[in-house]
Amino acid sequence: MRALHVTLKAALLGIATFSPAISNAQERVQLGYGRLINNDFLGDLKDRGQTGSYVSSRIYGTAWGGKLPTRAGEFLEFRLQADIKSPDNLMSPAAGDRPYAGSVSLGLHTHYQHSGFEIAMGAEMVAIGPQTRLDQFQTALHDGLGVAPPSQAVRNSQLGNDFYLGAIIEFGKPISFGARSQLRPFVEARRGVETLMRAGVDFELGSLTQSDLMIRDGITGQRYRTMLLGDGGYSFVVGVDTAIVSDSAYLPASQGFTLSDTRNRARAGVYWQKKNSHGFFGVTYLGREFTTQASDQIVGSIRLALKF
């Protein structure tokens, strides 16, 4: 994993190099906004594992012309994410199942292009544990829906309070096949609350997102729109990736967890945009993250915006 450490160190140095651009924040305006909700119930109708998450991004810069700038720091993304990870059984988990964990992260990222590659890099701070109040949120939500909430025993044994600083970098290479389809291989490295290297590819049939600034969701790998340009229509996407994970605060070795050799994902989805509405719906297969995980899972992802 030495290459991973070198890559992430370079990402942090790159963040430092665009700090002068951040000082010109008074010249910036909000150019875009994106969000995505993931939930296990929208996929395989269960409530476990990567059970639910929400991510939103606000993009700041001077102007958007449909393409990424060529210099880091011209576009800044402020990202907020909250997610809940839970055992298969919220009342009485089986021995060897994952502990309950709520996490909230704040991130600052930049997006640009160089030599035909799309580059996204940034830093984040992640808080986990009862301090996030996500166990209380899920309990209140389940009570309101008439669904059994996490038991007190599950909440008492959740991961404790902690903070993690991390860095993320992704390189993508869009390859167009005519005006209405695009293949995009990518590689990604993360260090912090989880340390991993990932490689994969996304394919889009349609041109709805090709003039947009797309953000990759860390849980599913689905990419969500932030600019919402274009004349409307539909785009269909599929993607796969695999990761080697060397460390995960969510599955601590001190509690006896052994990480899976690889962490695999496969996804599909559809974007649409009309005069008064736009949205996205997708599903993602998530492979097992640790050796004693009972089964893999499917989660659903949704973004919906209607104007009346």
What is the pLDDT tens value at each position of the chain, 308 positions in all?
544 444 444 444 544 444 444 445 458 899 999 999 999 989 888 889 999 999 999 999 999 988 999 999 999 999 999 999 999 999 999 999 999 999 999 999 999 999 999 999 999 999 999 999 999 999 999 999 888 899 999 999 999 999 999 999 999 999 998 888 999 999 999 999 999 999 999 999 998 998 899 999 999 999 999 998 877 899 999 999 999 999 999 999 999 999 999 999 999 999 999 988 899 999 999 999 999 999 999 999 999 987 76
pLDDT for the residue numbered 26: 54
- Give residue 235's Cα distance to chain centre: 20
- 3-state SS assignment for residue 245: strand
Rg of the chain on CA atoms, in Å: 19
Specify the CATH number for the domain of residue 22: 2.40.128.140
Report the C-alpha gap between 275 and 9 in whole angstroms: 44
Of 221, 265, 234, 214, nearest to 111 (Cα)?
A: 214
140 phi and psi, to 5 degrees? -65, -40
DSSP one-letter code for 130: G
Q: Is 280 left (phi over 0), alpha (psi -120 to 50) or beta?
A: beta
Of 126, 81, 132, 79, nearest to 102 (Cα)?
A: 132
User: In whole angstroms, how far apart are CA 170 and each of 8, 23, 199, 286, 304?
Assistant: 10, 24, 9, 20, 26
Q: Is 88 left (phi over 0), alpha (psi -120 to 50) or beta?
A: alpha
Can you give the residue range of the structural domain that contains 55?
2-306
∠ CA 107-112-114, rounded to 5°: 140
Number of domains in the chain: 1
